Amino acid sequence: MREEEPRPRPTAAIFMILGIIIVWSVLVASLSGIVTAWPWPVQALFYTIAGIVWIFPLKPILRWSETGRWRDDPPQT
């Protein structure tokens, strides 16, 4: 049986995703001095939104990892 060569795009995508997580967490943590002065419900909302927003860049990265394209092809008419 022949072993399959590792593909470089999925490996690169993993490092891109880890980079996004690191940069985003440092950015959010750097705002903690400001956020702690806010009332707790506003803090909770901020951290909830911050915990969700980092997910949005993942779809194009995962698509690129699988297909080699950053965007979906437009529908053919």
Q: What are the extents of the domains in the chain?
A: 25-66
Span 30-76, pLDDT tens digits? 999 999 999 999 999 999 999 999 999 898 999 999 888 877 766 66
Q: Is 37 helix (H, G, I), strand (E, B) or coil?
A: coil
Q: Is the pLDDT of residue 21 over 90?
A: yes
Residue 8 has pLDDT above 90, yes or no: no
Buried b (16+ CB within 10 A) or exposed e, 58-67: eeebeebbee
6 pLDDT band, cuts 50/70/90, is: low
Say if residues 20 and 54 touch (Cβ distance below 8 Å).
Answer: yes
Tokens encoding 34 = 């400001």
List CB contacts of 57: < 8 A, sequence separation 6 or more.
Answer: 20
Confidence band, pLDDT 50/70/90 cuts, at residue 3: low
The DSSP output letter for 75 is: P
pTM of the predicted protein model: 0.75
